[in-house]
Amino acid sequence: MRLTPGPGRDIDLDRVDLFDLDLYTSGDPHPIWDAMRDRAPLHHQVLPDGREFWSVTRYEDVCRVLGDHREFTSERGTTPTHVGVDDPAAGKLLTSTDPPRHTEVRRPLGAKLTARAVKSWEDSIRGTIQRFLEPALDGERFDLAERALLLPAMVTGPLLGIPAKDWEELVQLTAMVTAPSDPHFMVGNEAATLAISHHELVNYVTEWVKRRRAAGGEDDTLLAHLMSVRAGGVPLTDEEIALDGYSILVGANVTTPHTVSGLVHTLIERPEQFEKAQADPSLIPNLAEEGLRWTSPACNFMRYAVDDVHIAGGTIPARAAVVAWIGSANRDAAQFPDPHTFDLTRSGAKRHVAFGFGPHFCIGAPLARLTLRVFLEELTQRFGSLELAGEPQHLRSYFIAGMTHLPIVAQKRRTP
Ligand code: HEM
Protein backbone atom coordinates (compact mmCIF):
# COMPACT_ATOMS: atom_id res chain seq x y z
CA MET A 1 0.00 0.00 0.00
CA ARG A 2 1.20 3.46 -0.85
CA LEU A 3 2.46 5.06 2.40
CA THR A 4 3.00 8.64 1.29
CA PRO A 5 -0.31 10.02 0.00
CA GLY A 6 -0.47 11.61 -3.42
CA PRO A 7 -2.26 14.90 -4.09
CA GLY A 8 -5.73 15.37 -2.56
CA ARG A 9 -8.78 14.91 -4.81
CA ASP A 10 -12.57 15.09 -4.68
CA ILE A 11 -13.96 11.91 -3.22
CA ASP A 12 -17.56 10.75 -3.35
CA LEU A 13 -17.78 8.74 -0.13
CA ASP A 14 -21.07 7.12 -1.19
CA ARG A 15 -19.24 5.40 -4.04
CA VAL A 16 -16.05 4.42 -2.26
CA ASP A 17 -15.20 0.69 -2.24
CA LEU A 18 -12.87 0.05 0.69
CA PHE A 19 -12.38 -3.57 -0.37
CA ASP A 20 -11.24 -2.62 -3.89
CA LEU A 21 -7.90 -4.44 -4.03
CA ASP A 22 -6.51 -2.03 -6.65
CA LEU A 23 -6.71 0.70 -4.03
CA TYR A 24 -3.97 -1.09 -2.08
CA THR A 25 -1.73 -2.03 -5.03
CA SER A 26 -1.81 0.89 -7.48
CA GLY A 27 -4.20 3.29 -5.69
CA ASP A 28 -4.00 5.52 -2.66
CA PRO A 29 -6.35 4.91 0.29
CA HIS A 30 -5.04 7.80 2.43
CA PRO A 31 -7.04 10.62 0.76
CA ILE A 32 -10.15 8.44 1.17
CA TRP A 33 -9.51 7.83 4.86
CA ASP A 34 -8.74 11.55 5.31
CA ALA A 35 -12.14 12.38 3.80
CA MET A 36 -13.87 9.72 5.91
CA ARG A 37 -12.36 11.00 9.17
CA ASP A 38 -13.41 14.48 8.15
CA ARG A 39 -16.88 13.97 6.66
CA ALA A 40 -18.11 10.46 7.38
CA PRO A 41 -16.42 9.03 10.50
CA LEU A 42 -19.03 6.27 10.46
CA HIS A 43 -19.29 4.78 6.98
CA HIS A 44 -21.48 1.99 5.62
CA GLN A 45 -20.71 -0.20 2.61
CA VAL A 46 -22.60 -3.01 0.90
CA LEU A 47 -20.46 -5.49 -1.05
CA PRO A 48 -21.61 -6.78 -4.47
CA ASP A 49 -22.66 -10.10 -2.86
CA GLY A 50 -24.90 -8.28 -0.36
CA ARG A 51 -22.65 -8.55 2.70
CA GLU A 52 -22.40 -5.27 4.61
CA PHE A 53 -19.97 -3.63 6.96
CA TRP A 54 -19.52 -0.37 8.83
CA SER A 55 -16.21 1.45 9.11
CA VAL A 56 -14.67 3.72 11.72
CA THR A 57 -11.56 5.71 10.81
CA ARG A 58 -10.90 8.16 13.65
CA TYR A 59 -8.33 7.29 16.32
CA GLU A 60 -10.72 7.46 19.28
CA ASP A 61 -13.42 5.40 17.52
CA VAL A 62 -10.91 2.76 16.40
CA CYS A 63 -9.73 2.44 20.03
CA ARG A 64 -13.32 2.08 21.22
CA VAL A 65 -14.24 -0.60 18.68
CA LEU A 66 -11.08 -2.64 19.30
CA GLY A 67 -11.03 -2.04 23.05
CA ASP A 68 -14.58 -2.50 24.33
CA HIS A 69 -15.66 -6.14 24.07
CA ARG A 70 -19.01 -5.43 25.76
CA GLU A 71 -20.05 -3.28 22.81
CA PHE A 72 -18.01 -4.98 20.09
CA THR A 73 -17.38 -8.71 20.31
CA SER A 74 -14.49 -10.68 18.81
CA GLU A 75 -16.37 -13.97 19.19
CA ARG A 76 -17.74 -13.99 15.63
CA GLY A 77 -14.39 -13.37 13.95
CA THR A 78 -11.98 -10.46 13.63
CA THR A 79 -10.46 -10.54 10.15
CA PRO A 80 -12.20 -8.57 7.38
CA THR A 81 -11.49 -11.37 4.88
CA HIS A 82 -14.31 -13.20 6.71
CA VAL A 83 -16.76 -10.31 6.95
CA GLY A 84 -20.35 -11.48 7.42
CA VAL A 85 -19.33 -15.15 7.75
CA ASP A 86 -19.26 -16.41 11.33
CA ASP A 87 -15.87 -17.76 12.39
CA PRO A 88 -15.95 -21.56 12.86
CA ALA A 89 -13.24 -21.15 15.53
CA ALA A 90 -15.42 -18.72 17.52
CA GLY A 91 -14.94 -19.09 21.26
CA LYS A 92 -11.90 -21.36 20.78
CA LEU A 93 -9.24 -19.20 19.20
CA LEU A 94 -7.46 -16.61 21.39
CA THR A 95 -8.16 -13.86 18.87
CA SER A 96 -11.85 -14.82 18.57
CA THR A 97 -12.78 -14.91 22.24
CA ASP A 98 -13.86 -12.17 24.64
CA PRO A 99 -12.88 -11.84 28.29
CA PRO A 100 -13.08 -13.61 30.71
CA ARG A 101 -12.05 -16.74 28.77
CA HIS A 102 -9.74 -14.69 26.57
CA THR A 103 -7.90 -13.35 29.66
CA GLU A 104 -7.41 -16.86 31.07
CA VAL A 105 -5.66 -18.11 27.94
CA ARG A 106 -3.80 -14.92 27.20
CA ARG A 107 -2.27 -14.30 30.64
CA PRO A 108 0.02 -17.34 30.84
CA LEU A 109 1.01 -17.02 27.19
CA GLY A 110 1.69 -13.28 27.56
CA ALA A 111 4.02 -14.00 30.50
CA LYS A 112 6.37 -15.77 28.04
CA LEU A 113 6.38 -12.77 25.69
CA THR A 114 6.94 -9.75 27.96
CA ALA A 115 9.68 -7.24 27.10
CA ARG A 116 11.78 -8.72 29.92
CA ALA A 117 11.26 -12.30 28.71
CA VAL A 118 12.13 -11.54 25.08
CA LYS A 119 15.23 -9.50 26.07
CA SER A 120 17.06 -12.79 26.66
CA TRP A 121 16.63 -13.58 22.94
CA GLU A 122 18.31 -10.36 21.77
CA ASP A 123 21.71 -11.88 20.93
CA SER A 124 20.20 -14.68 18.93
CA ILE A 125 17.89 -12.22 17.10
CA ARG A 126 20.87 -9.99 16.30
CA GLY A 127 22.77 -12.95 14.86
CA THR A 128 19.75 -13.86 12.72
CA ILE A 129 19.41 -10.29 11.42
CA GLN A 130 23.11 -10.04 10.64
CA ARG A 131 22.86 -13.23 8.57
CA PHE A 132 19.70 -11.88 6.92
CA LEU A 133 21.41 -8.60 5.86
CA GLU A 134 24.75 -10.18 4.90
CA PRO A 135 23.89 -10.78 1.18
CA ALA A 136 22.90 -7.10 0.76
CA LEU A 137 26.37 -5.94 1.82
CA ASP A 138 28.03 -6.96 -1.43
CA GLY A 139 26.36 -4.14 -3.41
CA GLU A 140 24.27 -6.54 -5.52
CA ARG A 141 20.52 -6.16 -6.13
CA PHE A 142 18.67 -7.42 -3.02
CA ASP A 143 14.89 -7.86 -2.92
CA LEU A 144 14.32 -6.81 0.65
CA ALA A 145 10.52 -7.30 0.73
CA GLU A 146 10.70 -10.79 -0.75
CA ARG A 147 13.45 -11.87 1.63
CA ALA A 148 11.89 -10.16 4.66
CA LEU A 149 8.88 -12.49 4.41
CA LEU A 150 11.13 -15.16 5.90
CA LEU A 151 12.54 -12.94 8.66
CA PRO A 152 9.90 -13.61 11.38
CA ALA A 153 10.21 -17.34 10.79
CA MET A 154 13.99 -17.03 11.23
CA VAL A 155 13.44 -15.03 14.43
CA THR A 156 10.45 -16.80 16.00
CA GLY A 157 10.89 -20.29 14.52
CA PRO A 158 13.35 -21.43 17.19
CA LEU A 159 11.31 -19.74 19.95
CA LEU A 160 8.14 -21.45 18.82
CA GLY A 161 9.93 -24.76 18.36
CA ILE A 162 9.52 -24.97 14.57
CA PRO A 163 12.34 -26.60 12.60
CA ALA A 164 14.03 -24.52 9.86
CA LYS A 165 13.01 -26.98 7.13
CA ASP A 166 9.34 -25.99 7.64
CA TRP A 167 9.74 -22.21 7.65
CA GLU A 168 9.34 -21.55 3.97
CA GLU A 169 6.14 -23.56 3.68
CA LEU A 170 4.66 -21.91 6.79
CA VAL A 171 5.50 -18.44 5.50
CA GLN A 172 3.70 -19.26 2.26
CA LEU A 173 0.64 -20.59 4.14
CA THR A 174 0.41 -17.62 6.52
CA ALA A 175 0.66 -15.23 3.56
CA MET A 176 -2.17 -17.14 1.85
CA VAL A 177 -4.40 -16.75 4.94
CA THR A 178 -3.97 -13.00 5.11
CA ALA A 179 -3.59 -12.00 1.44
CA PRO A 180 -5.61 -14.66 -0.40
CA SER A 181 -6.10 -12.42 -3.45
CA ASP A 182 -2.45 -11.62 -4.05
CA PRO A 183 -1.20 -13.37 -7.21
CA HIS A 184 1.96 -14.47 -5.36
CA PHE A 185 -0.13 -16.50 -2.92
CA MET A 186 -3.52 -17.25 -4.52
CA VAL A 187 -4.35 -20.88 -5.33
CA GLY A 188 -7.40 -21.08 -7.63
CA ASN A 189 -9.59 -18.42 -6.11
CA GLU A 190 -9.75 -16.42 -2.88
CA ALA A 191 -12.11 -18.78 -1.02
CA ALA A 192 -10.06 -21.86 -1.93
CA THR A 193 -6.82 -20.13 -0.89
CA LEU A 194 -8.30 -19.26 2.50
CA ALA A 195 -9.70 -22.74 3.07
CA ILE A 196 -6.53 -24.60 2.03
CA SER A 197 -4.14 -22.43 4.01
CA HIS A 198 -6.27 -22.44 7.18
CA HIS A 199 -6.63 -26.22 7.02
CA GLU A 200 -2.91 -26.83 6.38
CA LEU A 201 -1.79 -24.52 9.17
CA VAL A 202 -4.11 -25.99 11.78
CA ASN A 203 -3.04 -29.43 10.62
CA TYR A 204 0.61 -28.50 11.00
CA VAL A 205 0.21 -27.42 14.64
CA THR A 206 -2.03 -30.44 15.41
CA GLU A 207 0.66 -32.82 14.12
CA TRP A 208 3.27 -30.86 16.05
CA VAL A 209 1.25 -31.28 19.30
CA LYS A 210 0.84 -35.03 18.67
CA ARG A 211 4.58 -35.50 18.13
CA ARG A 212 5.34 -33.42 21.22
CA ARG A 213 3.00 -35.53 23.39
CA ALA A 214 4.52 -38.73 22.06
CA ALA A 215 8.08 -37.49 22.77
CA GLY A 216 7.27 -36.42 26.37
CA GLY A 217 9.86 -34.57 28.52
CA GLU A 218 10.55 -30.87 29.03
CA ASP A 219 10.48 -28.26 26.30
CA ASP A 220 10.72 -24.50 26.73
CA THR A 221 9.22 -23.48 23.38
CA LEU A 222 6.09 -21.33 23.05
CA LEU A 223 4.04 -24.06 21.38
CA ALA A 224 4.93 -26.51 24.17
CA HIS A 225 3.96 -23.85 26.69
CA LEU A 226 0.49 -23.62 25.11
CA MET A 227 0.02 -27.27 26.03
CA SER A 228 0.26 -26.38 29.72
CA VAL A 229 -2.18 -23.43 29.60
CA ARG A 230 -5.45 -23.93 31.54
CA ALA A 231 -8.70 -22.04 30.96
CA GLY A 232 -11.54 -22.36 33.49
CA GLY A 233 -9.32 -24.81 35.43
CA VAL A 234 -9.02 -27.29 32.53
CA PRO A 235 -6.21 -27.72 29.99
CA LEU A 236 -6.85 -26.53 26.44
CA THR A 237 -8.03 -29.20 24.02
CA ASP A 238 -5.72 -30.20 21.17
CA GLU A 239 -7.98 -28.29 18.80
CA GLU A 240 -7.68 -25.13 20.90
CA ILE A 241 -3.90 -25.52 21.13
CA ALA A 242 -3.72 -25.94 17.36
CA LEU A 243 -5.87 -22.84 16.78
CA ASP A 244 -3.85 -20.69 19.18
CA GLY A 245 -0.59 -21.94 17.68
CA TYR A 246 -2.06 -20.97 14.32
CA SER A 247 -2.81 -17.40 15.62
CA ILE A 248 0.76 -16.98 16.85
CA LEU A 249 2.20 -18.24 13.57
CA VAL A 250 0.01 -15.93 11.51
CA GLY A 251 0.47 -12.95 13.87
CA ALA A 252 4.24 -13.31 13.79
CA ASN A 253 4.70 -13.98 10.07
CA VAL A 254 2.50 -11.53 8.26
CA THR A 255 3.19 -8.21 9.95
CA THR A 256 6.81 -7.49 10.91
CA PRO A 257 8.22 -8.00 7.36
CA HIS A 258 6.00 -5.25 6.01
CA THR A 259 7.16 -2.73 8.62
CA VAL A 260 10.74 -3.70 7.77
CA SER A 261 10.31 -3.18 4.01
CA GLY A 262 7.97 -0.15 4.38
CA LEU A 263 10.48 1.51 6.69
CA VAL A 264 13.45 0.87 4.41
CA HIS A 265 11.49 2.26 1.44
CA THR A 266 10.58 5.33 3.51
CA LEU A 267 14.21 5.87 4.53
CA ILE A 268 15.35 5.55 0.90
CA GLU A 269 12.86 8.28 -0.02
CA ARG A 270 14.02 10.40 2.92
CA PRO A 271 17.83 10.04 3.16
CA GLU A 272 18.03 12.84 5.73
CA GLN A 273 16.04 10.68 8.17
CA PHE A 274 18.41 7.74 7.58
CA GLU A 275 21.41 10.01 8.20
CA LYS A 276 19.87 11.34 11.42
CA ALA A 277 19.41 7.79 12.72
CA GLN A 278 23.00 6.92 11.73
CA ALA A 279 24.32 9.98 13.53
CA ASP A 280 22.30 9.37 16.70
CA PRO A 281 21.47 5.72 17.45
CA SER A 282 19.47 6.79 20.52
CA LEU A 283 16.74 7.83 18.03
CA ILE A 284 16.27 4.25 16.83
CA PRO A 285 13.54 3.12 19.29
CA ASN A 286 11.46 6.15 18.25
CA LEU A 287 12.23 5.47 14.58
CA ALA A 288 10.74 1.99 15.10
CA GLU A 289 7.58 3.49 16.67
CA GLU A 290 7.20 6.08 13.90
CA GLY A 291 7.77 3.26 11.41
CA LEU A 292 4.96 1.23 13.00
CA ARG A 293 2.62 4.23 12.90
CA TRP A 294 3.60 4.97 9.31
CA THR A 295 3.39 1.44 7.92
CA SER A 296 0.49 0.05 10.05
CA PRO A 297 0.86 -3.44 8.50
CA ALA A 298 -2.31 -4.70 10.18
CA CYS A 299 -4.40 -2.23 8.24
CA ASN A 300 -7.62 -3.04 10.11
CA PHE A 301 -9.38 -5.53 12.38
CA MET A 302 -13.06 -6.35 12.58
CA ARG A 303 -15.62 -6.73 15.38
CA TYR A 304 -19.41 -7.27 15.55
CA ALA A 305 -21.72 -4.89 17.41
CA VAL A 306 -23.42 -6.68 20.31
CA ASP A 307 -26.41 -4.28 20.47
CA ASP A 308 -27.22 -1.06 18.61
CA VAL A 309 -24.23 1.21 19.27
CA HIS A 310 -24.13 4.95 18.92
CA ILE A 311 -20.68 5.97 17.69
CA ALA A 312 -19.06 8.64 15.48
CA GLY A 313 -22.37 10.49 15.11
CA GLY A 314 -24.36 7.49 13.87
CA THR A 315 -25.69 4.09 14.93
CA ILE A 316 -24.32 0.67 14.11
CA PRO A 317 -27.17 -1.86 14.30
CA ALA A 318 -26.93 -4.90 16.58
CA ARG A 319 -25.00 -7.86 15.04
CA ALA A 320 -23.51 -5.73 12.24
CA ALA A 321 -19.84 -6.06 11.27
CA VAL A 322 -17.59 -3.07 11.91
CA VAL A 323 -14.09 -2.60 10.54
CA ALA A 324 -11.70 -0.45 12.62
CA TRP A 325 -9.20 1.09 10.17
CA ILE A 326 -5.91 1.15 12.06
CA GLY A 327 -4.02 2.61 9.08
CA SER A 328 -6.36 5.61 9.18
CA ALA A 329 -6.33 6.06 12.98
CA ASN A 330 -2.55 6.28 12.82
CA ARG A 331 -2.87 9.27 10.46
CA ASP A 332 -5.50 11.11 12.53
CA ALA A 333 -4.33 14.73 12.88
CA ALA A 334 -6.22 15.03 16.20
CA GLN A 335 -3.68 12.58 17.62
CA PHE A 336 -0.61 13.02 15.38
CA PRO A 337 -0.01 16.61 14.19
CA ASP A 338 1.01 16.78 10.51
CA PRO A 339 0.20 13.07 10.25
CA HIS A 340 1.41 12.47 6.69
CA THR A 341 4.93 13.62 7.57
CA PHE A 342 7.35 10.88 8.55
CA ASP A 343 9.47 12.15 11.43
CA LEU A 344 11.73 9.90 13.46
CA THR A 345 11.85 12.53 16.21
CA ARG A 346 8.03 12.77 16.48
CA SER A 347 6.96 13.00 20.11
CA GLY A 348 4.05 10.74 20.96
CA ALA A 349 4.71 8.35 18.05
CA LYS A 350 4.31 5.47 20.50
CA ARG A 351 0.61 6.29 20.92
CA HIS A 352 0.04 4.59 17.55
CA VAL A 353 -2.45 1.72 17.40
CA ALA A 354 -0.45 -0.44 14.99
CA PHE A 355 -0.55 -3.17 17.64
CA GLY A 356 -4.26 -2.63 18.30
CA PHE A 357 -5.84 -1.47 21.55
CA GLY A 358 -7.42 -3.04 24.63
CA PRO A 359 -7.64 -6.73 25.57
CA HIS A 360 -6.40 -8.05 22.20
CA PHE A 361 -3.42 -5.65 22.03
CA CYS A 362 -0.75 -7.58 20.12
CA ILE A 363 0.76 -10.20 22.40
CA GLY A 364 3.88 -10.25 20.19
CA ALA A 365 4.49 -6.47 20.43
CA PRO A 366 7.59 -6.75 22.68
CA LEU A 367 9.12 -9.27 20.28
CA ALA A 368 8.21 -7.19 17.21
CA ARG A 369 9.65 -4.05 18.84
CA LEU A 370 12.87 -5.83 19.73
CA THR A 371 13.20 -7.27 16.21
CA LEU A 372 12.63 -3.84 14.62
CA ARG A 373 15.08 -2.10 16.94
CA VAL A 374 17.82 -4.64 16.28
CA PHE A 375 17.08 -4.56 12.54
CA LEU A 376 17.38 -0.76 12.45
CA GLU A 377 20.55 -0.77 14.56
CA GLU A 378 22.18 -3.23 12.17
CA LEU A 379 20.89 -1.40 9.08
CA THR A 380 22.15 2.02 10.16
CA GLN A 381 25.51 0.72 11.38
CA ARG A 382 26.32 -1.52 8.43
CA PHE A 383 25.01 0.44 5.46
CA GLY A 384 26.29 3.81 4.26
CA SER A 385 23.61 4.30 1.64
CA LEU A 386 20.49 2.62 0.33
CA GLU A 387 18.96 3.02 -3.13
CA LEU A 388 15.97 1.66 -4.99
CA ALA A 389 16.91 -0.81 -7.75
CA GLY A 390 13.44 -1.24 -9.28
CA GLU A 391 9.76 -0.56 -8.73
CA PRO A 392 8.32 -1.69 -5.38
CA GLN A 393 5.29 -3.98 -5.65
CA HIS A 394 2.48 -3.76 -3.14
CA LEU A 395 0.61 -6.65 -1.54
CA ARG A 396 -2.85 -7.19 -3.01
CA SER A 397 -4.78 -7.07 0.25
CA TYR A 398 -7.15 -4.74 2.09
CA PHE A 399 -6.24 -6.42 5.41
CA ILE A 400 -2.44 -6.43 5.48
CA ALA A 401 -0.63 -3.36 4.12
CA GLY A 402 2.72 -4.34 2.72
CA MET A 403 5.04 -5.11 -0.14
CA THR A 404 5.93 -8.22 -2.08
CA HIS A 405 8.98 -6.75 -3.86
CA LEU A 406 11.39 -3.99 -2.89
CA PRO A 407 14.60 -4.27 -4.92
CA ILE A 408 17.41 -2.25 -3.35
CA VAL A 409 21.13 -1.75 -3.75
CA ALA A 410 23.08 -0.93 -0.62
CA GLN A 411 26.62 0.27 0.01
CA LYS A 412 28.62 -0.71 3.08
CA ARG A 413 29.14 2.04 5.63
CA ARG A 414 32.75 3.16 5.90
CA THR A 415 34.00 3.01 9.46
CA PRO A 416 34.78 6.58 10.63
C1 HEM B 1 4.91 -5.30 13.43
C2 HEM B 1 4.48 -6.43 13.94
C3 HEM B 1 3.07 -6.69 14.41
C4 HEM B 1 1.92 -5.95 14.24
C5 HEM B 1 1.75 -4.61 13.53
C6 HEM B 1 0.84 -6.69 14.89
C7 HEM B 1 -0.47 -6.24 14.97
C8 HEM B 1 -1.45 -6.83 15.76
C9 HEM B 1 -2.75 -6.26 16.03
C10 HEM B 1 -3.28 -4.95 15.47
C11 HEM B 1 -3.41 -7.11 16.88
C12 HEM B 1 -4.81 -6.91 17.49
C13 HEM B 1 -5.88 -7.78 16.88
C14 HEM B 1 -7.28 -7.47 17.38
O15 HEM B 1 -7.50 -6.42 18.00
O16 HEM B 1 -8.18 -8.29 17.12
C17 HEM B 1 -2.53 -8.24 17.12
C18 HEM B 1 -2.84 -9.33 17.90
C19 HEM B 1 -2.03 -10.47 17.99
N20 HEM B 1 -0.72 -10.59 17.53
FE21 HEM B 1 0.35 -9.19 16.57
N22 HEM B 1 1.36 -7.85 15.40
C23 HEM B 1 2.72 -7.90 15.15
C24 HEM B 1 3.61 -8.89 15.52
C25 HEM B 1 3.27 -10.06 16.17
C26 HEM B 1 4.19 -11.12 16.55
C27 HEM B 1 5.71 -11.08 16.36
C28 HEM B 1 3.43 -12.13 17.11
C29 HEM B 1 3.84 -13.47 17.68
C30 HEM B 1 4.83 -13.66 18.49
C31 HEM B 1 2.04 -11.68 17.10
C32 HEM B 1 0.96 -12.41 17.56
C33 HEM B 1 -0.29 -11.88 17.81
C34 HEM B 1 -1.37 -12.63 18.47
C35 HEM B 1 -1.32 -14.08 18.92
C36 HEM B 1 -2.45 -11.73 18.58
C37 HEM B 1 -3.81 -11.99 19.23
C38 HEM B 1 -3.82 -11.44 20.64
C39 HEM B 1 -5.17 -11.55 21.33
O40 HEM B 1 -6.17 -11.83 20.67
O41 HEM B 1 -5.19 -11.36 22.55
N42 HEM B 1 1.98 -10.43 16.52
N43 HEM B 1 -1.33 -8.02 16.45
pLDDT at 232 over 90: no
pLDDT in tens, 337-375: 999 999 999 999 999 999 999 999 999 999 999 999 999
Please work out whether the CB of residue 249 comes within 6 Å of at least one atom of ligand 1: no
Region at 277 (left for phi over 0; alpha for psi -120 to 50; beta for the rest): alpha
pLDDT in tens, 303-342: 999 999 999 999 999 999 999 999 999 999 999 999 999 9
Please work out whether the CB of residue 346 comes within 6 Å of at least one atom of ligand 1: no
Atom of ligand 1 nearest to the CA of 367: 27
Q: State mean pLDDT over 69-86.
A: 90
For the chain, the structural domain boundaries read 22-412
pLDDT in tens, 29-53: 999 999 999 999 999 999 999 999 9
What pLDDT, on the 0 to 100 scale, is given for residue 235?
Answer: 85
Q: Which residue has the higher pLDDT, 280 or 112?
A: 280
Please work out whether the CB of residue 253 comes within 6 Å of at least one atom of ligand 1: no
Nearest CA to ligand 1 atom 40: 95
Q: How far is the CA of 364 from the centre of ligand 1 (A)?
A: 6
How much of the chain, in percent, has pLDDT values that exceed 90? 64
Atom of ligand 1 nearest to the CA of 258: 1
Nearest CA to ligand 1 atom 27: 252
Q: How far is the CA of 361 from the centre of ligand 1 (A)?
A: 7
Tell me the pLDDT band of 416, cut-offs 50, 70 and 90. low
* CATH superfamily, domain at 22-412: Cytochrome P450 (1.10.630.10)
pLDDT in tens, 176-186: 888 888 888 88
Please work out whether the CB of residue 301 comes within 6 Å of at least one atom of ligand 1: yes
pLDDT in tens, 16-33: 999 999 999 999 999 999
pLDDT in tens, 193-208: 888 988 898 888 888 8
Atom of ligand 1 nearest to the CA of 295: 5
Q: Which residue has the higher pLDDT, 239 or 133?
A: 133
Please work out whether the CB of residue 257 comes within 6 Å of at least one atom of ligand 1: no
Q: State mean pLDDT over 387-412.
A: 94
Q: State mean pLDDT over 96-105.
A: 90
Q: State mean pLDDT over 230-257.
A: 85
Among 18-22, 109-113, 388-392, 398-402, the minimum mean pLDDT is found in 109-113
